[in-house]
Every structure is written in structure tokens, then in C-alpha cells.
């Protein structure tokens, strides 16, 4: 995790310390769509039904997860910051540049470089991790290591989410 030295000198935040992290295999969904959000939350978003749901707070996502778990009898959570960075790195390597930021599970803080096996971040805090980028992101921030944050009630048109499914077979 973190920025490689070439980027660290010019663009990285001082908290993007490069360090090795080991992750257990995990299943991640595609972005949750407006259609899926409507189905679980009982809302009526009428536009771009197959596009990622946006303008959703971290707190609202927790309600969605609870309702989804009740409906499917499967366990879900937001991806950890380490899982998000791994997925984003794979996306960039395949030439897929994200066009939306993503909420993460972890509270935002400096990396604990000693917590390198399935790191979950601190258990308390005021801000949650947001990763990725969108159409207006400046090029040097379109990196898998770029870190952002938002409060639990923060909402923005350019923030969405995917979920980690803690079920070994098909999710969503």
C-alpha cells in the first residue's frame, strides 16, 4: 500500500507511506446500482438505473447493508482501505480508470505500517476513507494510493460504493 517513490516525491500525501500488505482472498461486488438501491431501500430513483448509485452517505450504506443481509442471508461490508487500493490497482492495470469515488470501511488515519495482514484500520474516528477518482479529478490524484475522506453523513454526487461479500459463492 502507499505511493511508489516516483510519485511520493511529487504528488503523494505524507501519509501515503509505501508498505507491504497481505490480504486474504475476498469477493467484491460491482458498484451498487440505482436499481439495486431502489430494490433494497424501497426508493424510486428513476434515472440511470444501471449506473452506480451516488450521493449516498456512509451511514445510509450501513442501513442498505443491514437490509441486504436480511433479504439475502449473506454478510456484507464495505471494503477495507487495503482491499480498495488492491482493487483500484487492478482496475488501473487493466486500463479501467474509475469515474467515481468509493466509500471504504476504515476510519481515516495515517497508515499503521506494522498492521500488514488484512489491516482494518482503527476502530474509532470521525472520518471514513474514500478512494478512487472521477471525471474532474486531477491526473496526479488518479492513483490507487490516493487517499481522501468524508464524515459519516457526508454525501457527494461523485461518491458510490461496492461491497465485500463474506459468502464463498455468488453475491448479489
Q: Can you give the pLDDT at residue 110? A: 82
Q: What structural domains and CATH numbers belong to the chain?
A: 5-165 (3.90.1580.10)
Give the list of residues 6+ apart from residue 119 with CB closer than 8 angstroms, or none.
21, 80, 81, 82, 106, 112
Give, in order, the Cα–Cα distances in Å from 89 to each of 62, 95, 129: 25, 10, 16
Tens of pLDDT, residue by residue over 14-39, are 666 666 878 888 899 999 999 999 99
> What's the grid cell of residue 125?
474516528
Q: What is the mean pLDDT of the chain?
A: 83
pLDDT per residue as tens, the chain (172 positions): 555 544 444 555 666 666 687 888 889 999 999 999 999 999 988 889 999 999 999 999 999 999 999 999 999 999 999 999 888 877 767 776 668 899 999 999 887 777 777 878 888 999 999 988 777 777 767 776 778 899 989 999 899 999 999 866 667 6
Q: Can you give the pLDDT at residue 9? A: 46
Q: Can you give the pLDDT at residue 159? A: 93
Start-to-end Cα distance in the chain: 28
The dihedral built from the CA positions of residue 17, 20, 22 and 23, taken in this order, carries a sign that is positive
Question: At 85, which helix (H) or strand (E)?
Answer: helix 81-93
Look up cell 476513507; give the residue. Answer: 129
Q: Can you give the pLDDT at residue 76? A: 95
Q: Can you give the pLDDT at residue 32? A: 95
Tens of pLDDT, residue by residue over 127-142, are 999 988 777 777 767 7
Amino acid at each position: 500500500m502507499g505511493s511508489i517513490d516516483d510519485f511520493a516525491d511529487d504528488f503523494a500525501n505524507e501519509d501515503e507511506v509505501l508498505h507491504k500488505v497481505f490480504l486474504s482472498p475476498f469477493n467484491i461486488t460491482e458498484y451498487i446500482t440505482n436499481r439495486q438501491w431502489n430494490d433494497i431501500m424501497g426508493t424510486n430513483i428513476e434515472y440511470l438505473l444501471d449506473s452506480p448509485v451516488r450521493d449516498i452517505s456512509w451511514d445510509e450504506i450501513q442501513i442498505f447493508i443491514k437490509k441486504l443481509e436480511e433479504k439475502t442471508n449473506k454478510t456484507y461490508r464495505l471494503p477495507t482501505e487495503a482491499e480498495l487500493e488492491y482493487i483500484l490497482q487492478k482496475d488501473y492495470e487493466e486500463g479501467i480508470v474509475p469515474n467515481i469515488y468509493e466509500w471504504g470501511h476504515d476510519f481515516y488515519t495515517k497508515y499503521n505500517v506494522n498492521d500488514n495482514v488484512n489491516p482494518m484500520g482503527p476502530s474509532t474516528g470521525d472520518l471514513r476513507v474514500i478512494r478512487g477518482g472521477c471525471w474532474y479529478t486531477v491526473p496526479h490524484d488518479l492513483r490507487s494510493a490516493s487517499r481522501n475522506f468524508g464524515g459519516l453523513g457526508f454525501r457527494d454526487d461523485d461518491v458510490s460504493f461496492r461491497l465485500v461479500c463474506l459468502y464463498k459463492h455468488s453475491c448479489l
